[in-house]
Amino acid sequence: MITEKDIEKLFEKQLEKIRDPGLRARVVKTFVLASERGGWTSVADLARMPFTLLTDPRGVNFVEHTIAVTEGAAALGRAQTEAYAHLPYAINFDRLYAGGLLHDVGKLLEIEPDGKGGFRKSLAGQYARHPVSGAIVAAECGLPGDVVNVIVCHAKEGEGRPQVVEAVLIHQADFATFDPLMMKQKGMLIES
Ligand SMILES: [Fe+2]
């Protein structure tokens, strides 16, 4: 079983950036519930889980991806905060860190071991992609609507729809990790 302590250890640095203890606790609870529903029983399994099935992740796992996207989005938010004399919109870093950590939590329901050492899309994942399933679990765990917006609108489901600014930052940070891999697979990435 994956416990709250396991999740707190995995994402320690990002969780400590969430100032609201209630929000932090709900983020942890969402990971525990999604792990349970997805049948993930150990942290070692999470470290083996690819972050995507859409392209070869080349060894990047779900936990590493979640951290990279969360920190990438936070860096985008900090860059604007520091560079602009007047930030035209408020960036809520509690929302950003909570949403970043949870943006792909639905993948715990969408991806499953294939029994042959690899991974495949689950039946639940065929019914609802991870932005939708993640939003449902997060809402069940008491995450507020603004964080749910980040989860449900971070991928293509959110394109052309109203988004909180933190969803925009997480979307960009997410694609910054995904596009180079997809380009590499297609022979479109110049590496010199
Ligand atoms: Fe992602």
Average pLDDT over residues 6-18: 98
Looking at the whole model, is its pTM more than 0.95? yes
155 C-alpha to ligand 1 centroid (Å)? 8
174 C-alpha to ligand 1 centroid (Å)? 5
Report the distance separating Cα 118 and Cα 24, nearest Å.
Answer: 32
43 C-alpha to ligand 1 centroid (Å)? 18
Average pLDDT over residues 84-96: 98
pLDDT in tens, 17-70: 999 999 999 999 999 999 999 999 999 999 999 999 999 999 999 999 999 999
CA distances from 119 to 40, 107, 113, 155, 169 (A): 12, 12, 4, 21, 29
CA distances from 164 to 22, 117, 149 (A): 20, 39, 7
Q: What is the mean pLDDT of the chain?
A: 97
85 C-alpha to ligand 1 centroid (Å)? 31
Number of Cβ atoms within 10 Å of the Cβ of 132: 17
104 C-alpha to ligand 1 centroid (Å)? 5
